[in-house]
Structure formats: C-alpha cells, structure tokens
Amino acid sequence: MSHRLYSDLAAWWPLFAPVGYYEEQAGYVAARLDEVCPAKPRRVLELGSGGGSMALHLRQHADLTLVEPEDAMLNVCRRLNPGANHVKGDMRSVRLNRIFDAVIIHDAINYMTRANDLIAALTTARAHLRAGGLAMIFPDDTEETFAPSTHTGGQDDPVAGHGLRYLSWSHPATGTTYTIDFALALRSANGSVELVHDRHTFGVFSRATWREAFRQAGFLEPDIRPDRWREDVFLARAEVWDAAA
C-alpha cells in the first residue's frame, strides 16, 4: 500500500517528525554504542532511515549508512544528513557487501506485518554485522504492550510560513497487524488548509515471536530493555556467522 506521508507529502515530514523529537532517543542509542564499540570511527547502518531525523543526532557518534526504500524520503534525508551514505533499498532484502559495528532499525520495523518479513529484516541486520556487533530494534509495540490509542502532534515552520498538525488513531489488532489512521491538516503559507487521510498497517508480534525471529536470523538471545518511549527495545549480539550453513 502506498503511503502519502512517504511520497507526495514527504516534504512535510520535518514538521510531522521534527528532529528534536529524536534527540533523547538518539542519546540512548549513542550510549549503547559506547558500550559495544567505544573505539571510533564506528560504522553504523540504519535500515528504514525515513527522513533522517534520528540520524541527524547520531552522525557525531558514528559513520552512518542510511537505507530507505522511498525516493522522496531519501531526498529529505539527504538534505538533513549530507555527510551520510544514502542507499535506496528494502530492509528485507538489501545487501551492501559491507560490515558494520551496529545496525539500527527504529520504528520502520513496524511495517513488517508477517513473521517471515520480520525474520528477513533481522537477517539483513545480521548479514551486515561484524561478529559481536549489536542490533538495536525499536518497535512501537509488542503483542504484550499494544493498546489502541490516539496521539496528536505537528508544528509550524516560521521561516516558510506553513504548518502541519495530525491526529493518529490506532485500532485493535487482528492477528499480527493493526491499522493506524492519520488525519493531517496541512496549512500553506497563504493560509489555505488541506485535510488528508493516510492509513498505515503495522505489525505487532509477541515477545516469543521476536525471540524466535532473532534466533532464526543468527543472533544470540536478545536483551529486552524498556526505554522512556516504549515498553520493549530489543538489543541483540551477532553470533559468529557460519559460512557453510
């Protein structure tokens, strides 16, 4: 399904997900990087980097490679992070023939709606990690923590003179998926307002399914830690890859 937020509305993304929103979360990621690979330069891969709001805060901590499937979002990300390496690709299948110290998948992992998709994304992460490297995965929810909810957000751009406000409304899960409806109000500099509806389908899996997906992807047992923003963050070390397997 096409999502307007990532295509014709991508230019509005900095108002939908402002970079300041990710500053504390990026600090959490940087602290984990200090634990697993304190020596610099550190090579970090982000799968599903979106508009690059998280990457902006990480570029002082690591050499970044940012993978994103949508051209419009890549363009937003390039403008925000001109010094990073940008690659168009799907986290389930992309192969860069490079090895990294850490792989991050932030809330883009939500778009994995089947267990096989989840395993494929984690296998991609594993394929790009050095032995002992760390994968940090930040789903919005697990089956144990998910509850339907509503949220609001957005901000103005005082320089360009336009603004965005949104309401997100998530619905009860069915199987391994749930839907989120986004109602967007886009105000142009001339004062006109456009109302847009954009529906997204997210995956939601039990902790047991996550553990099995990590195992099948070649990771050690993940450490599940809460952070300030969600109930479950998955931190997993890479096993030594068996090339004969």
Q: What is the dihedral of CA 176, 237, 218, 96, to 10 degrees?
A: 90
In 3D, which of 176, 239, 233 has the Cα closest to residue 202? 176
112 in the same domain as 56: yes
Rounded to an integer, what is the distance from CA 60 to the centroid of its chain? Answer: 19
Q: At which residue do the structure tokens 């307002």 appear? A: 193
Q: 8 and 34 share a domain? A: yes
Please indicate, yes or no, whether residues 16 and 88 belong to a single structural domain of this protein: yes
Q: Which residue has the tokens 């984990």?
A: 32
Q: Is residue 242 in some structural domain?
A: no
User: 186: which strand partners?
Assistant: 164, 194
Stretches where the chain sits below pLDDT 70 are 1, 240-245
Residue 244 falls inside a structural domain: no
Total domain count, the chain: 2
pLDDT at 240: 60
211 with 165, same domain? no
CB 239 within 8 A of CB 218: yes
State the CATH number of the domain containing residue 94. 3.40.50.150
Which range marks the domain in which residue 62 is found? 4-141+206-237
Main-chain dihedrals φ then ψ at residue 239, nearest 5 degrees: -70, 165
Calpha distance 53→121 (Å, rounded): 21
Domain match, 135 and 158 both = no
Same domain for 175 and 190, yes or no, is: yes
Q: Answer whether 0.85 is exceeded by the pTM.
A: yes
For CA atoms 107, 202, 3, 12, give the dihedral sign.
negative
Cβ contact 151:167 at 8 Å: yes
CATH classification at residue 191 = 2.20.25.110
Residue 224 and residue 109 in one domain: yes
Q: Are residues 22 and 121 in the same domain?
A: yes
Distance CA 187, CA 206 (A): 40
Residue 245 lies in a domain: no
pLDDT in tens, 203-241: 999 999 999 999 999 999 999 987 777 779 999 998 764
End-to-end CA distance of the chain: 35
Say whether both 129 and 163 belong to one domain.
no
